[in-house]
Structure 1
Amino acid sequence: MQTLFAGLEAAAAKWPDHPFLCTPPHAGRGYLPDGSEWTYAQVLAQASALSEKWRDAGWGRGHRVALALDNHPAHVVHFLALNALGISQVPVNPYYLHHELTYLLEHSEAQAAVALPRNRARLEAAGPLPVVEWDDTSAVDAFVPPPAPSSPQETAPTPNSEIALVYTSGTTSRPKGAILDTAYAIAAGRCYADHGGALTLREGVERVYVPLPFFHVNAGINTLTAALLTGICLIVPDRFHAETWWDDLRATRATAFHYLGIIPPVLMKALPRPDDADHGLRFGLGAGIDPAIHAAFEARFNVPMVEVWGMTETGRFLAACHAPRQVDTRAFGRPMPGHMEARVVDDSGAEVPPDTPGELVVRFSKDAPRSGFFSGYLKNAEATAEAWRDGWFHTGDVVTQGDDGMLFFLERSKNLIRRSGENISAAEVEDALVDHPAVGQVAVLSVPDKMRDEEVMAVVVPAKGAQADDSTARDILEFARQRLAYYKLPAWVVFRDSLPVTGTQKVQKHRLFEAGADPCADPAAIDLRDEKANRRKLQA
C-alpha cells in the first residue's frame, strides 16, 4: 500500500456500504449536533472530490497542511484527501494557546490550514498562512483550497513518504515534531488487527468508540488505519462525556471502546444502574487503569479492560490481551515478534535480570530496528539519535519483566508528566512559571492523581519580597494560564526556601520529598485543582 488513500479505495471496494465514521449526537456541540454516520463509499467520494480540488490548486508531495478540525469526521476526510497527493497533515491541538500555536505553525512550516469556524481566528492570529474554513452546510462543494505556495515534488508518494507531523512533548521545553510515514501507519494498524485474544477484531463488524482526539495517533493514525484494513467503524465523539457515556455506547451500537486512566474511575463513581452491563461491548483498550479498581470495573460493567503500552514514536503497541490476564497489576503485555521486540536494560544498556526495574527499550528487529517506527524528529537529529541508541528505541519508561516475558509498568524516568493521556514537559511548564515576578526558582514534577494518573506540581522558591501563600499560588496559576494549555497548568503548588541541587546546580527532584511520601499530603501543598478545572472551562 503506497498511501492510506489507496487503503481507503480498497476498503470502499470491499465494504462500500459498511459504516466507517460515526459521530454520536450531542446537543450544543459546535458541529453535527444531531450526529452523523458515513459509509466507506461516502468517505471515499468526499475524499476524492477534495483531493482533486487540492490537486487543481497546485498542491502535492512536499507540502504540509495544518488541520484544526477537532474531532469532526472532516478531519479524516481531509487527511485522506491530502494523503492521496502526498501532502502531510499537521494536526492541531485545539487547547493550544497563541504562542503554542505559533510555535507549531512556524516549526512545522505548514503552508495552509483547514479549520472549523471556532478555530479560524486563532490560527489566523498565530501565523501568516492561509486558513480555509470548513462549513458543514456547503461542505465539499464550496471548499476552495488556496493556491499552492510552490510546485510539488514530481515523484509519487511511497511507503516512506511523510504523511503526518505529530507533536509530542519531550524533556525539552519545546514539543518535538515526530515525522510519520505510510509504513508507520500500516504497521500500527496491522499490529492492532493482529493482537487477537481479548482484542480480536471481527472484520467488517466491530464498532470502536474512541473518545480521544484526532491530533493523537491513537485515534488519528492507529485506529483509523486498523479500520481501513479490517472494515470496522470508528465512532469518535468530540471528547469524553461521563454523563452520557453508556447511553452513547448503546446508541452507536459500539462493540469496543478506548479509554485513558481518568475514564474508569469517573465511571465507577457513578451510582450503579440496573443496565450497567446491558451493552454489546467486547473489550475496552487503554492505559492507566488503577489495579485497585480494574477487577471491580470488569465485574460491574462486564467488559474486559485491556491495558496496553505504546508511544507516538512507536505507533504499534503491546497489550495484555491474552489469558491469564493479570488485572491486579500494571501488566501491559509481552514482546510481539513480527511487530515489536522489547527488553529491559540498565543505564549501561545491559539487559537486567527478571523482576528487576530498568528502562524499556523496543525495536522492530535486529536487522531492521526502525522499521515501522517514526522517521525521526523534525529539525532535531540530535534528539532522534539520543532516542535510538545501540539499535533500540529508548522509551524512558521504567518497567520490570517476569520470567514469562510479561512486562509491568512502574514509572517514567524522563522528565515527563502523563496527565489523562497527555504528555506534559516539566521543562516547558518551568519555563512558563519562572517568568512570574514572585517566582525565584521552580521545579515541576508529576504527582499521583486517582482520576488522571498524574498531575502537575510546582515547587516554588519565592523571589525576594514575595509572599509564600495561597494568594501568590493562585496568581501564579492565572499567570500560567496565559502561557500554557489548561492541562499543563499546576494543580498543586508548594513553596520552599530552597531546592536541592547537585554540585553543578542541577535540581535533584527525587529529593524534593521523602522517599515514599505523597507530595500532595505535604502540609505545605496548596491544592489548585478546582481552579485548574475552571481554567479548562475558560479555554474550551
Structure 2
Amino acid sequence: MITVTDDTTIGEALQAAVERYADNSLLAVPANPQRGYAQQGVEISYRDAGRQIAELARVYADAGYGLGHRVALLLESRPEHMLHKLALNTLGICCVPINPDYRRRELNYLIDHSKADLVVCLASRLASIRESLEDTAHQPAVVALDEQRAAGSLTSLPKAARAAQAGAVNADTPASILYTSGTTGQPKGCVLSHAYELAAGKWYASQPGFVSIQEGRERLFNPLPLFHVNASILSFYCMLLSGGCQVQTDRFQPSRWWEEVASSRATIVHYLGVIIPLLLKQPASPWETQHVVRFGYGAGVEPQLHAVFEQRFGFPLIELWGMTEVVRTISDYTSDRQVGTRSFGRGMPGLEVRVADEYGESVPSGTPGEMLVRYSAETPRKHFFSEYLDDPVATEKAWSGGWFHTGDVVVQDPDGLLHFMDRRKNIIRRSGENIAAAEVEAILLTHPKVQGVAVMAAPDAIREEEVLASIVLVPGVPADDAICSELFDFCQKEMAYYKVPGWWWFTDEIPTTGTQKIQKHRILAAGQEPTALAGIRDLRTRKKRG
C-alpha cells in the first residue's frame, strides 16, 4: 500500500504508485461493440499511465498552465478524464469536471462560476461549448480532442491567458471543483484539495471486514460517472494507493452489466439503489454465475431487495453513507450487518457522528435527527472539503457549531448504529442524481405562462424518486396537454434531462404561509401519494438523454 501522509500531494502518490505497481493495470474499459470508442476494451498499466500523464503534463506546462489555474474537462467517463486530471493535479492545476448531460444554461453557470482558464472537450462536445460561450461573461480558451485517439491527440494548447502562481504544489492545493446540488438553487462548487482526495482513497483502502482491500489484486467495476466524487475520487484513489485497477464503463446498462463485470474480472462493484431492482428484473444469464465479485459497495438498496439480491448473485451489498463534502464514508462492513434495514454503519475516529435536533442539540437514541459529522473536536474540518467556491457564508453555515451539517435525517441505536430516514430538504434523489427542487422551480418560473410552481419528489419504483412539478398557470392559459408538452419541451432545453419533471400537476393555488413561503407539505392530504393527485400527467417516458 502506498504511504500517504497529511503532506503528500497527488503527484507524489502517483509517482510512488507507478514505481511500485508498474505492471499492474490502473484503468480498464470493458469491451462493448456498441460504444463509440474502445469497442474491444482497454487496459492501461501503471507504467503506461505514468508515461501518458507525464506527456500531458508537459503539454500543459509548455502552454503556461500551472499552479492556480483551473481546467474544465468534458471527456465523459473515458479513461482520458483521469489521465488529464492526474496531469493537471501534478502541476497544481484544479480540475473542473463537466456533467455531459448539462444543457446550455447549466454550462453557462459552471463556466462563469468556476472561471475556468481552459476547457478541454471531446470534438463531439465542441459545438455545445461554443454555444455556451456566446452567453458567458467569462471566456476561457477551448481545445477539442479527437474522438478515436483522445489520449494522444493533445499535442499543443493555446497559451494560458494569465501566469501561473508562484510556489509549489502542496496538500492544500485545490485538486477538483465538483458541482453539487444545494437547496437554494444553483449548484455549489465544492473545492476538494490534494489532501482530501488522497485521504478518501486511504480511508477506503484501510477499511476492515467485508470491505477489506487486497493490495495489487482488486479490480473495481464502477458504472458511475467520472464527474461524481464516487468514481473519480473515492474508488479511483483507493485503487491507485493499493495497486488495484478501476474498471470504468461509460454508463450503467442492465442488459450488459454481468457480461462486463464477469469479463473484466471485477472483484468489487459499486452500485446505487436504482441499479438493484433493474438487475433483479433481468432474465437469468450465464454471465451472472461467472463473476468473481467479493462485495458490492453503495447506497440505497431497498430493504426488501437486499437479501434477495445477495442470494441470487452470491455476494454481499455493503451499504454506505457519503457525500461530496465529506472525505470519508460510513459503512456497515461488520459480520453482524443488518441486511434488510436502512442501517449504514457507525461513526468512528476520523468521522465522528452526532444526531441533533433543529437547534443543534443532541437527541436521544431512537429519535430522528439531522446527522452532524466532523473529524475530531480538535480538528473538525481535517480532510473535509476546503470550501464552497466564492461562498464563505454557505461554507460557515454548513459548519455551524463546529460540526458539518449533512442535512440527512437518521436514527441512531443505543450501540451507535445509524439508520437512514429521509432525504435532505428540497433535494430529489433520482437514479443517484441529487436534484435541487429550487433550481427546477427557478427555470419553470421564467416561462411566461407559469405564475407559480412547487417542485417535489414523487416515489418511483425504478429510480427511487422522480421530479414532480405543481404549477399555477397565468390566468387565461388552459391546463391541458398542449401546455404540459410545451413546458416539458421548455425544461428539456434548459436543464439536464434527469432534472426535467416526469410528473406534472396543474392547480389553481399553491399553499403558502403568511410570509408567502410555499408549504409543500400542504399540497397533499395526509397519507396521499403525490402521483394520486387528480389530473396529474405522467411524462416520464419522454425523459431521454439528448
Pairwise TM-score range, normalised by the shorter structure: over 0.9
What is the aligned counterpart of 1:216 among 218, 228, 232?
A: 228
Query: What does residue 352 of structure 1 align with?
Result: 363
Give the whole-Å Cα distance in 1 for the aligned partners of 2:83 and 2:287: 36
Query: What does residue 58 of structure 1 align with?
Result: 64
- The residue type paired with residue 363 of structure 2 is V
1:138-172 CA-partner distances (Å, limit 9, x unpaired): 74365212211111111101101111111001012
Query: What does residue 3 of structure 2 align with?
Result: none
* Secondary structure of 1:325 counterpart: coil
Give the whole-Å Cα distance in 2 for the aligned partners of 1:28 and 1:108: 34
What is the aligned counterpart of 1:453 among 458, 464, 468?
A: 464
What is the aligned counterpart of 2:296 among 284, 290, 295?
A: 284
Query: What does residue 128 of structure 2 align with?
Result: 122
Deviates more, 1:56-65 or 1:410-419: 410-419
Deviates more, 1:219-228 or 1:58-67: 219-228
* Secondary structure of 1:464 counterpart: coil
Whether the aligned pair in 2 keeps the contact of 1:124 and 1:130 (CA below 8 Å) is: no
Give the whole-Å Cα distance in 2 for the aligned partners of 1:442 and 1:142: 46
Judged with a 3 Å threshold, the aligned counterparts in structure 2 of structure 1 residues 30 and 403 are, in CA distance, closer, same or farther, namely same
What is the aligned counterpart of 1:112 among 115, 118, 122?
A: 118
Whether the aligned pair in 1 keeps the contact of 2:119 and 2:142 (CA below 8 Å) is: yes
Deviates more, 1:160-169 or 1:431-440: 431-440
Query: What does residue 182 of structure 1 align with?
Result: 194
1:305 corresponds to 2:317:
yes
Deviates more, 1:111-120 or 1:366-375: 111-120
Query: What does residue 170 of structure 1 align with?
Result: 182
* Secondary structure of 1:267 counterpart: helix
What is the aligned counterpart of 1:328 among 333, 340, 363?
A: 340
* Secondary structure of 1:459 counterpart: strand
1:4 corresponds to 2:18:
no
Query: What does residue 88 of structure 2 align with?
Result: 82
TM value normalised by structure 1: 0.96
* Aligned pairs, number: 534
Whether the aligned pair in 1 keeps the contact of 2:220 and 2:239 (CA below 8 Å) is: no
Alignment of 1:231-380 (within 5 A): 231-273=243-285, 276-337=288-349, 339-380=350-391
What is the aligned counterpart of 2:145 among 125, 129, 134?
A: 134
* Secondary structure of 1:257 counterpart: strand
* Secondary structure of 1:360 counterpart: strand
Judged with a 3 Å threshold, the aligned counterparts in structure 2 of structure 1 residues 71 and 89 are, in CA distance, closer, same or farther, namely same
Whether the aligned pair in 2 keeps the contact of 1:132 and 1:144 (CA below 8 Å) is: no
* Secondary structure of 1:315 counterpart: strand
Shift of 1:438: 3.1
1:421 corresponds to 2:432:
yes
- The residue type paired with residue 428 of structure 1 is E
- The residue type paired with residue 215 of structure 2 is E
1:99 corresponds to 2:137:
no
Give the whole-Å Cα distance in 2 for the aligned partners of 1:103 and 1:114: 17
Shift of 1:274: 5.5
Give the whole-Å Cα distance in 2 for the aligned partners of 1:403 and 1:515: 31
Give the whole-Å Cα distance in 2 for the aligned partners of 1:28 and 1:302: 29
- The residue type paired with residue 511 of structure 1 is R
1:57-95 CA-partner distances (Å, limit 9, x unpaired): 111101000111111111111111111110001000000
1:463 corresponds to 2:463:
no
1:23 corresponds to 2:29:
yes
- The residue type paired with residue 286 of structure 1 is G
Whether the aligned pair in 1 keeps the contact of 2:56 and 2:154 (CA below 8 Å) is: no
Give the whole-Å Cα distance in 2 for the aligned partners of 1:457 and 1:129: 36
Deviates more, 1:461-470 or 1:110-119: 461-470
Shift of 1:129: 2.2
What is the aligned counterpart of 1:73 among 74, 79, 83?
A: 79
Judged with a 3 Å threshold, the aligned counterparts in structure 2 of structure 1 residues 361 and 270 are, in CA distance, closer, same or farther, namely same
1:507-526 CA-partner distances (Å, limit 9, x unpaired): 11111112332111333321
1:106-151 CA-partner distances (Å, limit 9, x unpaired): 1101011111121122122223322222234374365212211111
1:509 corresponds to 2:520:
yes
Give the whole-Å Cα distance in 1 for the aligned partners of 2:372 and 2:21: 38
Give the whole-Å Cα distance in 2 for the aligned partners of 1:53 and 1:295: 51
Gaps of 5+ in 2: 1-6, 134-138
